[in-house]
Structure 1
Amino acid sequence: MAKRTRQETEPPIDPRALHRAARRGERRLLAAEWDAERRLDVARAKLARAQARLAKRQTRLAEAEELLRQRQSARAAGPSTDAEPA
């Protein structure tokens, strides 16, 4: 007895069903791509907010360092004649 081929054992493939399956697969791929783009946009926005916070903190740090330098240089210069005695 000869071995039967796949074409003999399985029903024929319906081209319309194949087309529907391809469209479903394409829709799934598009949905996955949209989701990935949305996640990327969210991540970019989160990064922008973090960078803004960092810039603000760096500005405050630079201002505090400048104030500290001014106080240290004033202290090193000695008591000022303009300052009231404590």
Structure 2
Amino acid sequence: MELDRILSNLVENAFTYGAPPLCIATSRHDGRDRLSVRDHGKGMPEAHFARALRPFVRIDPARGGDLSMHNADGSGLVVVLDFPLRARA
């Protein structure tokens, strides 16, 4: 449920503040599942990153989820969520 809310917020913000196309991707990287959302707008001044990430402080560090953002090469903003791989039962 939380992931759905986070992804919905990221997509809504990308459409509101960024520009199309919007790219959503999943991958495995360094033993973690990765979800990334990228828009192709102007990006964001790095000085604003900490303030923009404030709503996400509720992510439980014990679960191992990491959230980061950076301006994409060329144009746009990229938000990346990394989660530890879960062992299958």
* TM-score between the two structures when normalised by the length of structure 1: 0.21
Structure 1 or 2: larger helix share? 1
* TM-score between the two structures when normalised by the length of structure 2: 0.20
Query: Which protein, 1 or 2, shows the higher relative CO under an 8 Å CA cutoff with sep ≥ 6?
Result: 2
